[in-house]
Amino acid sequence: MTVSGLLKGFGRGNAPRGTSRVISADDTVRRLEILDDFEQTGISWIWATDKDDHLIYFSPSADGELDEGVGQLVDHPLIELFEIDPENGERSDRPLNFQLKMRNKIVELPVRLIKEAAQKSGAERWWALSGHPKFDEGGKFLGYRGSAKNITTAYQRQREDSRLAEYDSLTGLANRHRMNRKLESTLSAFRSAKRSCALMMLDLDKFKQVNDMMGHQAGDDLLRQVADRLTAIIGSKAEIGRLGGDEFQIILLDEDDRGRLGDLADKIIQMLTSPYQIDGKRAIIGASVGISVAPYDGIEADEIIHNADLALYAAKNSGRGTYRFYSADLKDVEQERQLLLDDLREALANGQLQMHYQPVVRTKDHAVVGFEALMRWEHPERGHVSPGVFIPAAEETDLINQLGQWALQQSCRDALEWPENIRLAVNVSAKQFCNKGFPAVVTQVLAETGITPDRLELELTETVFMGDTDATTATFKTLKKIGVRLALDDFGTGYSSLSYLRNAPFDKIKVDKSFVDTCTQKNENSAKIITAIIGLSEALGMEVTVEGVEAFDQFHLVCEKGAKYIQGWIYSKARPQAEILGQIASGGFLIEPAGPETYRPERRSVFRRIGIIHEDHRYDAVMRDLSQTGSRIEGLVGVPLGAGLVLDLGGGQLVVSRVRRTQDAMIGVEFEEPLVSDGAGGLVTRHRVSPYALAAAGMPLAALPPGNYPLQIGDADKPRSTPQFLQVSVQRG
């Protein structure tokens, strides 16, 4: 049917007589001829719908676009024929059906033909639709009248240009612009719906070393492999982006369970630390993750991003290869890190650092056969600073080489005062080991102190195998020529490869404490892994030291599995040189094991002021220690056994608990739901009270004041019950 045929029945005037070249508005016949001629050009097509939005006309010249002609389109609802591009939210944020029902004017709207039988050879077709709603004199809707044209080539080019503008060309992941826009739109929509959204910020550890040692092309290949692994882990559950360099970001919708988020972060870290094959060489990197969750850690995109960044830097500064959740006590960690490094340089220059020594004991006769040197730092203001904090910070600068050389010199001098049959083990960081001058440092220290080379044992982790394999092999050969012993530390915790043991001349393997911690638990494979490592080492002619044994159930199990050497608290903690010399002077180097019969997860000693909610009263108290399943609390008198309490740990963390022990002002409580790790040795609740819930109860929708809200907010004028417990003051001590 042509335009002329369509308009029959709508009425038309008679063509004016005469030979005028000008076609007037009344010359219906010649006007229709022009419209027919225009349709045949294919420049644009004309379409019309009835009052039910069914297509009743489409220009016949569009037949060439479709396998079976425009007849396949006519008499079908328009919304069954076309769809708006879901990726093109800038043109319209409403579906086509909404546009039609609202009788909106349509202007150059890109749509995709979706009727299966209508698409020519299965090719994707994009048309631009324009249309006006038509009404009769009484305002009754008659249908749409409009035009359409093929924009497939131009639109696909536009989509590709848009994709390049929003996606990272190297990895194919979303870029920073797209991720920011996605986060902003998500948080805006979720605010009214009172939904949660988690943001993970990822940073690759030691990526710069791969770039520097293997080249930028290898670095690019590594980033592509990282993107593939993240996609395999996350799938379609979240939006993944690369922000630039070695920074990645993940947006997870409707997720606020810090247990699940921590498990996912752990999985990501483990997957990303698996070795990479690049141009036939092995590369090993790590990953750190910072996590913030809206609305608990902020409600605006810049807040959530900033807080996830703070958590990420905290994870990096607490030892790397871990994750951290944002908490209100995190400070500007870049500034903190620089202050820490400044203090560390001063400590090294002013003799504030000490070496402590933990014995390695032979199990058959409890004789000490060696000591591992461990660095200790007592800061005059910070107090004890963990090596897990200051060593990673030092590794980012040349300070690690200075620290390492000092530790080697000091411990070798100390070892000269021990019996000559006692060995010394010193930890060496991967950055130290990769320093070309490291073998010369070892040679110099041996010459200066006079200690025999075979008494010195250098403890290395598998990260030394990252990067230049030839240089690593050469360093190993040089050290063995010098005569020192080599030990592989933390074996089994990463992606330990048997090729390490085949290619590197290790004298000893150390079984990591993480296996010992769980070796006596049911449904754990740790005992089998310990057995396998001991058997493998013996087959290769290497010694094995089992680390971290604290209780007799662990001691008996590892001994049954063949452990000949143990290093752990069941024999001794690390002690300063003066105490070691005192033991030697007392006439013996035998240590009898001593410790609890069974191992239980560590209960952390704390001094933390918290709130306790009981019925409609809130009390102030002090938490004295904390584990995943319970806590010891001081400050309330008269609390009966079995009483139900809610602990207010601040920041929206409420813990339902029940009293299991009570003595004077001290109570012991058991948690209804265990706490989860914050990734850095701390414990947090899985869930938090949403600020939306607090806002509904009358509190302002803003960052929560730590520990300053009751479980239920009632009418202030409503009479309260009499407090059942006596609150007493508690001082640190």
**Among 530-534, 605-609, 622-626, which stretch is predicted with the lowest mean pLDDT?**
605-609
pLDDT at residue 336 tops 80: no
Most confident of 10-19, 97-106, 343-352: 343-352
Residues of the chain with CATH 3.20.20.450: 352-585
CA distance 288 to 210: 17
CATH class of the domain defined by 167-330: alpha beta
pLDDT digit string (tens) for 362-421? 999 999 999 999 999 988 877 788 887 788 788 878 899 999 999 999 999 999 999 999
CATH class of the domain defined by 352-585: alpha beta
Interior CA angle at 364 toward 360 and 366, to 5°? 45
Residues of the chain with CATH 3.30.70.270: 167-330
Mean of pLDDT over the chain: 83
**Can you give the pLDDT at residue 10?**
42
Q: Is 615 left (phi over 0), alpha (psi -120 to 50) or beta?
A: left
pLDDT at residue 512 tops 80: yes
**Can you give the pLDDT at residue 573?**
92
pLDDT interval class at 92 (50, 70, 90): very low
Q: Name 719's bridge partners.
A: none
**Can you give the pLDDT at residue 3?**
53
**How large is the average pLDDT for residues 322-334?**
75
Most confident of 13-22, 87-96, 140-149, 157-166: 140-149
pLDDT digit string (tens) for 576-596? 999 999 887 776 678 888 878
**How large is the average pLDDT for residues 459-473?**
76
Residues of the chain with CATH 3.30.450.20: 42-158
pLDDT at residue 631 tops 50: yes
pLDDT digit string (tens) for 649-699? 877 788 899 999 998 889 999 999 988 888 766 788 888 877 666 555 544
CA distance 726 to 637: 5
pLDDT at residue 120 tops 70: no
Residues of the chain with CATH 2.40.10: 604-727
Reply yes or no: is the peptide bond before residue 700 cis, omega within 30 of 0. Answer: no
> CATH number of the domain at 42-158, please?
3.30.450.20
**Among 24-38, 462-476, 688-702, which stretch is predicted with the lowest mean pLDDT?**
688-702
**Can you give the pLDDT at residue 334?**
63
**Can you give the pLDDT at residue 90?**
45
**How large is the average pLDDT for residues 626-642?**
90
CA distance 148 to 498: 66
CA distance 211 to 282: 13
pLDDT at residue 274 tops 80: yes
**How large is the average pLDDT for residues 305-313?**
91
CATH class of the domain defined by 604-727: mainly beta
pLDDT digit string (tens) for 218-251? 889 999 999 999 999 998 889 999 998 899 999 9
pLDDT at residue 200 tops 90: yes
Higher per-residue confidence, 43 vs 605: 43
- pTM of the predicted structure, to 2 decimals: 0.57
DSSP per residue, 197-260: EEEEEEEEETHHHHHHHH-HHHHHHHHHHHHHHHHHHHTTSEEEEEEETTEEEEEEET---HHH
pLDDT at residue 704 tops 90: no
Helix (H, G, I), strand (E, B) or coil at 451: coil
Residue tagged 């990479």 (tokens): 276
